[in-house]
Structure 1
Amino acid sequence: MKKSGVLILASVLLLSSCASSQIGGAMTGANLGGVLGSAIGGILGGPRGADIGTVVGVIGGGAVGAAATAPKDSHRSDKGSCSNRDDESYGVEVRNVQFYDANNNQTLDAGETATLVMEIYNETDKMLYNITPQIACNNKRVRISAPATIMNLEPGCGVRYRAVITAPRKLKYQEAIFSIGFKGITVRKFSVATSR
Structure 2
Amino acid sequence: MVTRRAYDEGCAVAHALDLVGERWALLVVRELLFGPKRFTDLDGRLAGVSTSVLSQRLQELAGAGVLVRRKLPPPAASWVYELTEWGHQLEPIIMALGQWGNQSPQFNCEAPVTPASMALALKGFANPARVKNLTGLVELQLDGEVFHAFPQDGRLLVTGATSGQPDARIITSPGRLRPFLHGLTATSNSLRDNGIQTEGDRRTAVALLAAMGS
* TM interval, short-chain normalised: under 0.3
Could you state the TM-score of these two structures normalised by the residue count of structure 1?
A: 0.18
TM-score (norm 2): 0.17
Larger radius of gyration: 1
More strand by percentage: 1
